[in-house]
Structure 1
Amino acid sequence: MRAAGWSTDRPLLGVVADDLTGACDLAGGVAHAGLTTSVTLGVPTEPIPADVDCAVVALKSRTNDPAEAVRDSLAAARALGDAGVRYVYQKYCSTFDSTDRGNIGPVADALVDLLGPDAISLGTPATPQVGRTQYLGHLFVNGQLLSESSLRDHPLTPMTDANLVRVLGRQTTRPVGLVDHSVVRRGAAAIAAAVKASVGAAGEHIDAGRRHLLVDAVEDADLDRLAEAIGLLDVPVVLGGGAGLAVAVARSMAGAGEQGAEELPSIEAGPRLIISGSGSERTRAQVAAFRGKVITLDPLALAGDGSGVERLARDLAEAVHADGTAGAPPTVLVSATAAPSDVRRAQKELGVDRAAALVEDALAQLAVRAVEDLGVRRMIVAGGETSGAVAAALGVKTVRIGALAAPGVPWTYATVRDRPMALLLKSGNFGGPDLFDTAWQVAP
């Protein structure tokens, strides 16, 4: 797991992702860059597939206790190391979702320690294709400072500081440095020299002894320069960031531009289900734009009604059995998506953890019933926590990556209850407003 140029051993890239939708975001981009890719859900209990170029482990560690996140991330990294990966990649959200206690910093510390006393972490959340850029250490979301975007109101990880060097510095006792854009634009050799300088004597742009280095990137070309620079390093390095850098690394490895993901087997026709648990601004727009039947889930109502899930299940069955529009199969949206003020009200009355648990458990139960009783074989799930809960309830262990419905939003193929199923597991912030209507056009 040392960075010393690309290897022909497989898998080449091992990814520890802090949630399922982030794992699928990265895997979709890497697959379309030409690397065969697998996604394992949860800490691996079986050997990582040896016939892939990129092996991704999708955890549910973004917002849980830091000690638990570290434990699971180390277990995943060790499993990837046993598979012979050349690079370990710490995948976190392109909006750097975390609080002052972690979990990005504690996990980065642990992975660096795993690689040895001279190891560093190096990366960037920048993913320009979806509007995430980093300049002078500050993260921008669609041209807005992170702290001025809708992410400042995130119910679990409110991002009120756009200076990522400062944010990461509050999560680790180790020095955090920056490779700024004036270095990046000079190319791979300049980036590699700056990184090497951080390990020994002080360099022009980076103070000596930095163990965690963030790198500016405002366009894909910057990520390609960083990917090339990684191949010039001779120190142990944990790569890290959003999907953007991983895709740039994949482009460098594949060496032939976009190849396209594999074509997935077709899925039998039947009703389609959308489950939305994300409270993000983008998902709220997608829920508002959806033209089909909507069933609304309210955590306060669930808390006061022991039969709430049964009632929702009856409503879902009735909606699924309705005729589809213009010959299309019926598509039903079950939504717990709400305005930030409503989310805060539920959290105040129920507590943050209980409110989230009520929603995730109810949505997961409805997903299982839809598959087992209603014949649903194509499903969209919006929200990282919700996707993890639904996938776990369905017993999904691995997924294969298929066509992109939007940047960062691939369809996947899984076996559920011994039958094939198409799942689109979406980060709350991704996809256009009409995604819930258009994604089916490229579904398996």
Structure 2
Amino acid sequence: MTGPWLGAVADDLTGACDLADAVSEQGESAIVVVGTPGGPPPACGCAVVALKSRTAPRAEAVGDSLTAARWLVEAGCTTIYQKYCSTFDSTDEGNIGPVADALVQLATAGRAGPAGGAPSVGTPATPRVGRTLYQGQLFVGRQLLSESPLRDHPLTPMRDSDLVRVLSRQTRATVALVDWNTVAAGPERIHAAIDAARRTGAGHVLVDALTETDLDNLATALLRAPTGDAPLVAGGAAGLAAALARVRGGGTPSPGLNRAAARAVPAVPNGRRLILSGSCSARTREQVARFTGPLVSLSPVDLDADFGQTVDAVLAAVAEAYRTTDDPVLVSSSADPVLVARYDSQLGPGRSAELLEAAAGEIAARAIATLGVRRLLTAGGETAGAVVRALGLGVLRVGPAVGPGLPWMVPDPDPKLAILFKSGNFGEPDLFHTAWKLAP
């Protein structure tokens, strides 16, 4: 296998794994590289760089994203993909627009011909998980984004469903929309609409999509478009990335043999199972409520009072639970928005999240080192990022998936652990009980 053709810059780890899962489902091999990369990537068709840039300071997010994109271009990627959440998690001061601006400038700098001034093109629509875009309005299932539980997200409250308007507040470039009637008319009409937007000076183009067929039409238009020697800059959630892989592979999902090969990972030693839940999303709180095994609560107030003693007490409680059961143990700091606001008021803005992330990383590292944990499920992007930093993980390979966007990941080249990084709103309500059935 040669180097990757698709290179993605993801703004958090769970999103990176989601995209890698979607591409692997099409029979394309994918890896996730944690943090700013160095050295050549392992053999794969898709390389995804997982950053912690969604809520990072703007200059840091842009700088890290450019470093990742340059590495991907040098690795031979002909398509650079900006991966952001399917719910477009980003405040008006957020990073989706600035990063998109930077990626377009990188792709087109100093290049003449048809690629000059080419906009980024993308959509957050991922119909397989109920995310659709119509007339520029983002829907979560049957609800407008602004009417969904995401309106009260503690870090990125999404109270405007009009993504053209949201993105326009983050960039000086013009943001255009290709509406659904154009998308439904097929790839040629989509390509013509994107070209018209380019000629009128649009820097970014958002595209409506309601179905997988819509995404395939968009992917076909993008892959057929002439770009000279410049990489294509696309963007969105996992749905469009999967469509790009599907269309490039012939227009239909690859046979099961290829799909299985794309998810092949080494066997992981047997060991104990641990869940670290830090997400405060409605779905994660439902999953915590459904869990009937041993549960250990983690409080930022206790951590603030005595961090070391609190972490020691949590690990002692986990060890005690393992003495009486072979079931997974859940350590949870998930809380409803009212309680999160109370913590921020009591401890100061951001202090609660900082403490909980640090604790999650330390608990994971010590549980693996001293308690024999070999299968770990994390809930929430910030929790996932803290865990991989604490464990010093570099490259992850995609294993079996327990649901859309929920693959088990195995470190490369040292497969001593299997980890499932769950995005806050993903997974069935009983996931904390069922996820282990397909664990490597």
TM-score by length of 1: 0.93
Distance 2:3 2:337 in 1: 45
Residue 166 of structure 1 corresponds to which residue in structure 2? 165
Distance 1:262 1:131 in 2: 24
TM alignment of 1:8-407, pairs within 5 A: 10-49=3-42, 51-116=43-108, 117-200=116-199, 208-235=200-227, 237-255=232-250, 256-258=252-254, 259=256, 260=259, 261-306=262-307, 307-324=309-326, 330-407=327-404
Q: How much does 1:46 deviate?
A: 2.1
Distance 1:132 1:355 in 2: 30
Q: How much does 1:169 deviate?
A: 0.2
Change (3 A) 1:9 1:183: farther
String of CA shifts for 1:80-117, please: whole Å, max 9, x gaps: 01101010000000000001112100000000110125
Q: How much does 1:257 deviate?
A: 1.1
Structure 2: runs of 5+ lacking an equivalent: 109-115
Distance 2:331 2:118 in 1: 46
Change (3 A) 1:332 1:109: same
Q: Which amino acid aligns with 1:335?
A: S
Residue 205 of structure 1 corresponds to which residue in structure 2? none
Distance 1:337 1:228 in 2: 41
Residue 112 of structure 2 corresponds to which residue in structure 1? none
The question of whether the paired residues in 2 share the 8 Å contact of 1:196 and 1:233 is answered with: no
String of CA shifts for 1:109-142, please: whole Å, max 9, x gaps: 0001101251311000000000100000000001
Task: For residue 239 of structure 1, give the secondary structure of its aligned residue in structure 2.
Answer: strand
TM alignment of 1:428-443, pairs within 5 A: 428-443=424-439
Distance 1:332 1:20 in 2: 23
Distance 1:46 1:312 in 2: 38
Distance 1:317 1:253 in 2: 49
Q: How much does 1:313 deviate?
A: 1.5
Residue 416 of structure 2 corresponds to which residue in structure 1? 420
Distance 2:141 2:148 in 1: 9
The question of whether the paired residues in 2 share the 8 Å contact of 1:88 and 1:238 is answered with: yes
The question of whether the paired residues in 2 share the 8 Å contact of 1:48 and 1:79 is answered with: no
Distance 2:206 2:351 in 1: 35
Distance 2:415 2:207 in 1: 44
Task: For residue 265 of structure 1, give the secondary structure of its aligned residue in structure 2.
Answer: coil
Distance 1:10 1:222 in 2: 29
Structure 1: runs of 5+ lacking an equivalent: 1-7, 201-207, 325-329
Change (3 A) 1:319 1:257: same
Residue 113 of structure 2 corresponds to which residue in structure 1? none
Distance 1:346 1:70 in 2: 30
Task: For residue 355 of structure 2, give the secondary structure of its aligned residue in structure 1.
Answer: helix
Distance 2:343 2:224 in 1: 51
Residue 111 of structure 2 corresponds to which residue in structure 1? none
Change (3 A) 1:9 1:119: farther
Q: Which amino acid aligns with 1:435?
A: L
The question of whether the paired residues in 1 share the 8 Å contact of 2:16 and 2:83 is answered with: yes
The question of whether the paired residues in 1 share the 8 Å contact of 2:2 and 2:44 is answered with: no
The question of whether the paired residues in 1 share the 8 Å contact of 2:278 and 2:334 is answered with: yes
Q: How much does 1:351 deviate?
A: 2.2
Change (3 A) 1:181 1:297: same
Q: How much does 1:363 deviate?
A: 1.1
String of CA shifts for 1:294-317, please: whole Å, max 9, x gaps: 101111121123421111121111
In the alignment of these two chains, the number of paired residues is: 423
Distance 1:80 1:352 in 2: 35
Q: Which amino acid aligns with 1:402?
A: G
Q: Which amino acid aligns with 1:374?
A: L
Q: Which amino acid aligns with 2:57?
A: D
Q: Which amino acid aligns with 1:40?
A: V
266-275 or 164-173, which moves further after superposition?
Answer: 266-275
Q: Which amino acid aligns with 1:429?
A: N
Q: Which amino acid aligns with 2:434?
A: T
309-318 or 356-365, which moves further after superposition?
Answer: 309-318
The question of whether the paired residues in 1 share the 8 Å contact of 2:121 and 2:206 is answered with: yes
Change (3 A) 1:9 1:192: farther
Distance 2:182 2:164 in 1: 16
Distance 1:420 1:313 in 2: 20
Distance 1:397 1:43 in 2: 10
Distance 2:249 2:329 in 1: 39
Q: How much does 1:280 deviate?
A: 0.5
Q: How much does 1:9 deviate?
A: 6.6
Q: How much does 1:320 deviate?
A: 2.1
Q: Which amino acid aligns with 1:399?
A: L
Identical counterparts, % of pairs: 54
Q: How much does 1:175 deviate?
A: 0.4
